[in-house]
Structure 1
Amino acid sequence: MKQTILFDLDDTLVYCNKYFYLVIEQFSDSMLTWFAGYPDITADIIKNKQTEIDIAGVHVLGFKSDHFPQSFIDTYVYFSDITGRKRSPVEEDFLWKLGRSVYEHQVEPYPFMEATLNDLAEAGHQLHLYTGGELLIQRRKIDQLNLERYFGSRIYIRRHKNNDALESILLEGDFNRSSTWMIGNSIRTDVVPALTAGINAIHMKVDTEWVYNNVEIAVQPQGAFFTLHQLPDVPPTIHRYVQEQH
């Protein structure tokens, strides 16, 4: 039985969050230098406020690239206001460029990405790519790794990645839900929408997850639901499940 398999991109097929964490560390270090005279302002307090502001922006704007550097500036403004420290246009410009730099790194695939996609494609399964973000940024990653050789035109890029976005893709493509899979690292944007839509889901668990992605799963799976830790486990898991069902 051939399956229809939708893959998430960031932190499922390619590394993403680790670059954000590196930039956030640089942001925190800069803030600690500028606010060194205020001992109550610690690295954890700075990071927690930035995370709070960042996630609030995602809820409103979706995965819009400018909201991440803006969260640096908004955090900087917040601490400037509560301390009375004078704001500097030079510092704000530095933070904006620092935040934007996260989108400029070379794309790095997860281990065995190609082998996994090859195995599934050679088995006759139809592969789709469903990712959240801005068109130009996500297309750059797709083009750098030549992912169209696996997904062709079956690529969906959405600024808001949620239940409604996935449902619209499934309806437009007239997917057979019992043989359709969503594979991704985010419980919020991959797993819960998949289970809500009544398709199969594989949660690719990562070591350090962005707090935004962690939500409670309050949906009863109608089909398969697995948690895996590495891409090479995906093909045998799907094949085993399909064989058991038939």
Structure 2
Amino acid sequence: MSYEKQQIIFDLDDTLIHCNKYFDLILGQYFELMMDWFQNDQLTVEEIRQKQIEIDVAGVTKVGFASEHFPQSLIDTYHFLCEKYGHKAAEDEEHELRLLGRSVYEQEIEAYPGMVETLESLTKAGHHLYLYTGGEKAIQQRKIDQMKLSTYFDERIFIRQHKNIEALEQILQSGSFDRKKTWMIGNSLRTDIEPAITAGINCIYLKQKNEWSYNIIELKQEPTSVMYTIHSLTDVPRVIHESIHMHQQQKTLG
């Protein structure tokens, strides 16, 4: 079947490839260290978790997706606990935490199930695919190269340290995007879906089972375009094509 060609913008981390699970893995090791170092105190994993989340979210809001932010959040949480429980922060422990935090960027990249199938399907249907990801260029480019994503996105790749409405708007204005035929696909309500709604483009929210708290917000603005929620990446082509078909039927009836 022939479909009206769309411009489809994909998020990268936890949309096309795994990301959060690697941070969870490192945090698990971090919690074990803290419980060991503070074993004589009334410390719980939940207290560590909540303080690290608080520091992590505040930092990302301020500095964006900088690579040193996550390791620093581990150290800052450690400093908080030292002050609370009367410990003296040790340089060797800080160094160990920085190395642990940085190791998250050395994990093997793993695609989400159906990544290739989804991108192949949309490419064969003639749609124009774009990649828009948040983070530092070297780190994100390494992921892109390992997954050979330039096969589908060519030079249509945007990497931004701050991923927000201003960044998305700059991308939309820099190219010949028809907003009625443009889609944003992503797992983050904060950095993918809310900016897309504000920009007046279509969006598909890929809801994940275990989501980073930073990504979860209440959407206060009603979409002026279409918005769908899915639970599997492989649903993207079907949802887009059904939406196109519905729009074409409405035009015919109108």
What is the TM-score when the length of structure 2 is the normalising length? 0.95
19, 22, 25: which one aligns with 1:22: 25
124-133 or 222-231: which moved more?
A: 222-231
Q: Distance in 2 between matches of 1:177 and 1:144?
A: 31
Aligned to 1:93: 95
Aligned to 2:48: 46
Aligned to 2:111: 109
SS at match of 1:12: coil
Aligned to 1:65: 67
Q: Distance in 1 between matches of 2:48 and 2:226?
A: 40
TM superposition shift of 1:81: 1.0
TM superposition shift of 1:28: 0.7
- For this pair of structures, how many residues does the alignment match? 245
Alignment of 1:74-223 (within 5 A): 74-223=76-225
Task: Give the aligned residue type for 1:187.
Answer: L
Give the RMSD, CA atoms, in angstroms: 0.6
SS at match of 1:153: coil
Task: Give the aligned residue type for 2:230.
Answer: L
177-186 or 214-223: which moved more?
A: 214-223
Give the gaps of 5 or more residues in structure 1. Answer: none
Q: Distance in 1 between matches of 2:220 and 2:85?
A: 42
32, 38, 42: which one aligns with 1:35: 38
- Over the matched positions of the two proteins, sequence identity in percent amounts to 53
SS at match of 2:130: strand
TM superposition shift of 1:231: 1.2
SS at match of 1:82: helix
Task: Give the aligned residue type for 2:12.
Answer: L
Deviations 1:76-123 (A, max 9, x none): 111111111122111111100000000001110000100000000000
SS at match of 1:48: helix
Aligned to 1:5: 8
Q: Distance in 2 between matches of 1:218 and 1:91?
A: 43
Task: Give the aligned residue type for 2:20.
Answer: N
Q: Distance in 1 between matches of 2:234 and 2:16?
A: 11
TM superposition shift of 1:207: 0.3
What is the TM-score when the length of structure 1 is the normalising length? 0.99
Task: Give the aligned residue type for 2:168.
Answer: L
Aligned to 1:244: 246
4+ long deviations beyond 6 Å: none
Task: Give the aligned residue type for 1:12.
Answer: T
SS at match of 1:156: strand
